[in-house]
Amino acid sequence: MCSWPRPWIAAAWLLACTAQAQVPQPFPGIGRPATPREVAAWDIDVRPDFKGLVPGSGSVAAGMALWEARCASCHGVFGESNEMASPLAGGTTAKDLETGRVARLKDPAFPSRSTLMKVSTLSTLWDYIRRAMPWTTPKSLTPDEVYAVTAYLLNLGGIVPDDFTLSDRHMAQVQAQLPNRNGTTTAHGLWPGRGLGNGGKPDVQAVACMKDCVKEPRVISALPEFARNSHGNLAEQNRRFGAQRGADTAGPPPPSLAASAAAAASSPSTR
Ligand code: HEC
């Protein structure tokens, strides 16, 4: 990059390369500054205001063909499969498109959660598909292909019509129709819970142990017995088929977990 350039840009070269040389080197001789193209390859996030979105377009029809070739094996032809992941489509209604809040998220008789039920920003869907899917070959889709499969998924949810073409210029319009676009809240302890009216403090507080501390904390994944059923029986809240199954929390824990659960209930580190 800093080989001798043509004379007419010599001055600019001198300036750029001197500036580069002045960047502090915390570990001299190790590594090098990332090139602009390397940074560009990583810097692919799309924000809710669509900053970072790559121009392009794809139709529902093109998306359907791509879906069958690249997505259906894991997510089902209609995005309904729960064999590999939670269903991508399903559970949303025409009414939700009007209200922007998916009513079934509050319906205990409808325990499953599809992506279209939950997602409240279209940028997240587009960004996730672009960076992470297909699962086995992430980042292999072109921007136009990402628009196309996103259009098909939106069409499965009745959000866009069959003859729709999604492009960077349509993203804001479609965002305004997402079924759960108004479903986010800050009335909880995360990020950092301003909606709770507590001045934005998190709802957990870690106090460093200074005395009689456990030397080797034991990592366990069992629920303490008192918490097992605090959200109702998990087994009854999940589909009885496919990958989503919940533990039967109605009764006491199985003997294999009982010891860990008791330890969790009495351990000072989990209180
Ligand atoms: C080889 C299997 C496989 C293929 C093919 C595949 N996916 Fe996925 N997909 C997954 C798995 C597994 C997850 C869950 C990943 C996780 O939670 O970390 C997932 C998650 C997703 C999600 C997020 C779901 C959510 O609510 O969190 C979307 C959207 C998605 N896939 C879209 C696609 C699209 C579009 C294609 C085709 C271009 C595709 N996937 C192809 C396996 C696959």
Q: Which atom of ligand 1 is nearest to the CA of 145?
A: 38
Residue 45 Rama label (left phi>0; alpha psi -120 to 50; beta): beta
Identity at 24, one-letter amino acid code: P
Q: Of all atoms in ligand 1, which is nearest to the CA of residue 149?
A: 35
pLDDT tens-place string over residues 90-111:
999 999 999 999 999 998 888 7
Residues with CB under 6 A from ligand 1: 70-71, 73-75, 84-86, 88, 115, 125, 128-129, 133-136, 141, 149
CATH fold of 57-175 reads Cytochrome Bc1 Complex; Chain D, domain 2 (1.10.760)
Which amino acid type is present at position 63? G
Q: How far apart are alpha carbons 226 and 21 in whole angstroms?
A: 61
C-alpha to C-alpha distance for 263 and 206, rounded to whole angstroms: 19
Terminal-to-terminal C-alpha distance of the chain = 57
Please choose, from the candidates 178, 165, 68, 69, the residue with its C-alpha nearest in 3D space to the C-alpha of residue 114. Answer: 178
**Residue 238: Cβ within 10 Å count:** 17
> Which tens digits make up the pLDDT trace of 141-164?
999 999 999 999 999 999 999 999
CA of 140 to the centre of ligand 1 (A): 13
From the CA of 248, how far away is ligand 1's center (Å)?
A: 28
* Pocket perturbation via mutation, ligand 1, pick of 64, 68, 71, 140 by most ligand atoms within 8 A of CB: 71
Query: Of how many residues is the chain composed?
Result: 271
Q: pTM to 2 decimals?
A: 0.70
pLDDT tens digit sequence for 36-65: 999 998 999 999 999 999 999 999 999 999
Q: Where are the domains of the chain?
A: 57-175, 214-241+253-271
Cα of 39 from ligand 1 centre, angstroms:
25
CA separation for the pair 167, 144 (Å, rounded) = 8
